[in-house]
Structure 1
Amino acid sequence: MLSDTSVSEFSGSSLSMGIAIDLQFVGGPSDADEDLETSFLLNTSPEFEFAAYTVAALTNTQPTVVIQGENVDIQAATLTVNGMTVLDKVVISFGESNKATTKHSGSATTKHNGATDAALQILVDKMWAEDQDRPTAAQVTMNWGAHISGKSGSKQSNLFTTVDESIFNKKQYADLITTYTQNLLTADVCKAEPAMSGFRKQYFQQVFDTFTATPMFTSAFAYLQSINYKETSSLANFKTKVLWPLWFGTYSRCKGPLGSSGWEHVFSGEIKGNGVDGQHDWTRYYMEQKADHMVYEGYYSHDDNLIGTFQYQWNGATKPTGGFFTGTSPAFDFSIFTVCTLAHGNGANCHFKVNNFPITVVSYTQACGDGSGTCLATSYPENQ
């Protein structure tokens, strides 16, 4: 049971029959860090949890346990510290069971009527056909290196072996890379972001307008209109009232400075302590690899060169379990993340296939700290 003394803020959750829960909270004093996405079992004994988490960690599997007739998946990531394997993070997710969802603070309902998996799959298929800017097999070659089996990985060859950089001449890549090379974002989540004005606003507005002018986003917006999502009477209205705050509204991950945004978290990546937060854009990863800022340490899983989950270090900070699409364009990612966040976010999750590979997109929102509306806390794809 959560007590008022242990949790100073709590918002929206996904609850399955009193068995497991996804939630957001702030623990301890007012200056404590905020956990924007967490989950745990309910109504189980500490002994059961200890045994289940131990098995998941040591076997590097994602076991499914049946509790009161409901399927619950357990994923346990480990790290090696001073030569010892330690448990880093446990994630509880729901299997194929039906679960109730609640309205998340500062957001619309987590799943709208009409947002069916069949309709979503039709959208993804259409967007995939429209994504003429995604890299071809000839343009990008990859070396996935060693498979990680429940322990921390070790330095491998670069994840991206070759990239035909002529692809970066395409407008969406050029505009996105400009935001990276201009160093417009402060990676440390505990340092406030500069004001969104002047040349900084100009560069972000440019890539924002470029992404929203792509065929993929046009299809994504039509999907949101079809489910009667709020403020979709016109694209201009939606971009101003929903989309810009979602991606560029700022909030705190340190209970203080407004040092984070959905855009920074998903595309650029953030540093929190000794760890990497977010960073789900292959272009960003490649550019940082090229600058010798990345150390690749092995993969957990991947589907061809479409998507992968792996471990790496960025400027000395560790991403024990990270990943992103590696065979799509950034505007495709932006578009599907937007749909999944607004129509299937906060624990509902998006489930679809790309090239017959099953994909899940996990998304969460929170109220913007700058008062602009609902902000994206995270959105990222997982291969099954």
Structure 2
Amino acid sequence: MQAGNESSHLQIIPSDENNDDDGWQIVGKKHSRQQHKIQRDGWNQYKLPSDEQQYSNEVEIGDRVEPSEDELTDLSRACEKLWDLDLNRLVPGKDYEIDCGEGKKAFRKGDMAQRSLFTWVNDDVFRKPTFGRFLSLLDNYIPHQGCEEVVTSEQIQEQASFIEELSRTAPIKYVHRYLASKGIVSGSYQDFKRMITGLWFDLYGRGGTSRSSSAFEHVFVGEINQDNEVSGFHNWLQFYLEEAKGRVDYQGYIFPRRRGEIPDSESQILTIQFEWNGILKSVSSTLIGVSPEFEIALYTLCFYAGEENNYIQLGPYAVNIKCYHHGDKIGSVFPIAES
């Protein structure tokens, strides 16, 4: 590792990088100031039987998880409250650094970024329980929509453990109180945990193949559809991991709708263009540095209490949370920067 203030950042090259066990071919890595690798050893504990799992202590923030009358009548206020409750949100420059590169129009071809999007991420980030459990789920899926998913008992345990870990955080507690106050869900927290497990992980058909997709896979992992296009894939941790493996080639940000508002290393919502395993996604959007519990809470809240377009404020960012239903499940949900 380099000396100086970046000594705690990941700098290990992925081993056996041309022979990944899911059959995807590595297309090469763009130059980055540091090489990256996630230490997976700590994730083995997440595969243990349920009676051997160890979880974080319940967060204690008292009345802050009780929605106010203003929040119950104004979804944007509720979402901004979630932003405030995201105690695990990362700090740009302290926990990670991004390099946005050059901007482009969505239709413009060519790579406008000389470097990777992520310069470094502090390895302490992956010791956070919700982050580690989230990352351990990402390799459970076949990205091609035409392939039926086979879910093992071990993967079901990983899903249950992830939701249990999330349920101890403030954003998830708040969403339960919010939806229960509106009569949308049961007041039972156990019932709510079962409901969000089904919402995010139950398999459904997409692209003509039954049991080929789920909300979690589409939104957070990403899929290759029947037209050989990237769909979904809106999570920054998945982007970081795939970029570290050389599967993602970041090609620059998409120009903001308003002139003069150019993203930089401090920005925590980006509209970007990239290739995933050689397949272009011309426009994608993602929140950067937010916690898994925040995204699950935000998108669950908008799915049950919002509309297709949910114009909200998240800290300094004006955002539209676009939410599509697939029957009683999430078809897709993602942020669009409005500024």
For 2:336, the equivalent position in structure 1 comes to 382
From 348, 354, 374, the equivalent of 2:314 is: 354
Unaligned runs of 5+ in 1: 1-113, 368-373
Contact map agreement 2:215 2:330 (CA 8 A) in 1: yes
Q: Does 1:315 align with 2:277?
A: yes
Q: Which amino acid aligns with 2:235?
A: D
Contact map agreement 1:366 1:375 (CA 8 A) in 2: yes
For 1:366, the equivalent position in structure 2 comes to 326
Deviation at 1:209, TM superposition (A): 1.7
For 1:41, the equivalent position in structure 2 comes to none
From 80, 103, 117, the equivalent of 1:147 is: 103
Unaligned runs of 5+ in 2: 1-68, 257-261
Deviation at 1:153, TM superposition (A): 4.0
Percent identity, aligned pairs only, is: 24
**Residues in 1 aligned to 2:299 and 2:128: alpha-carbon distance in whole angstroms:** 21
User: The residue matched to 1:204 in structure 2 has which SS?
Assistant: helix
Number of aligned residue pairs: give it.
258
Q: Does 1:253 align with 2:211?
A: no
From 233, 243, 250, the equivalent of 1:279 is: 233
Cα deviation digits, residues 48-89 of structure 1 (max 9, x gap): xxxxxxxxxxxxxxxxxxxxxxxxxxxxxxxxxxxxxxxxxx
**Residues in 2 aligned to 1:351 and 1:305: alpha-carbon distance in whole angstroms:** 19
Q: Which amino acid aligns with 2:218?
A: H
Q: Which amino acid aligns with 2:287?
A: F
Cα deviation digits, residues 98-135 of structure 1 (max 9, x gap): xxxxxxxxxxxxxxxx9978632332333222212111
Contact map agreement 1:158 1:295 (CA 8 A) in 2: yes
Q: Does 1:244 align with 2:197?
A: yes
**Residues in 1 aligned to 2:201 and 2:318: alpha-carbon distance in whole angstroms:** 29
**Residues in 2 aligned to 1:126 and 1:278: alpha-carbon distance in whole angstroms:** 26
TM-score between both structures, scaled by the size of structure 2: 0.71
**Pair 1:119–1:333, CA change in 2 (3 A):** same
By relative contact order (CA 8 Å, sep 6+), the higher-ranking structure is 2
Contact map agreement 1:190 1:252 (CA 8 A) in 2: no
**Residues in 1 aligned to 2:148 and 2:239: alpha-carbon distance in whole angstroms:** 23
Q: Which amino acid aligns with 1:330?
A: P
Deviation at 1:175, TM superposition (A): 0.5
Contact map agreement 2:163 2:193 (CA 8 A) in 1: no
After superposition, the CA RMSD in angstroms is 2.0
TM-score between both structures, scaled by the size of structure 1: 0.63
**Residues in 1 aligned to 2:72 and 2:99: alpha-carbon distance in whole angstroms:** 33
For 2:159, the equivalent position in structure 1 comes to 204
Cα deviation digits, residues 227-271 of structure 1 (max 9, x gap): 221x3221211232x322211121122223321000101111111
**Residues in 1 aligned to 2:70 and 2:82: alpha-carbon distance in whole angstroms:** 16
User: The residue matched to 1:213 in structure 2 has which SS?
Assistant: coil
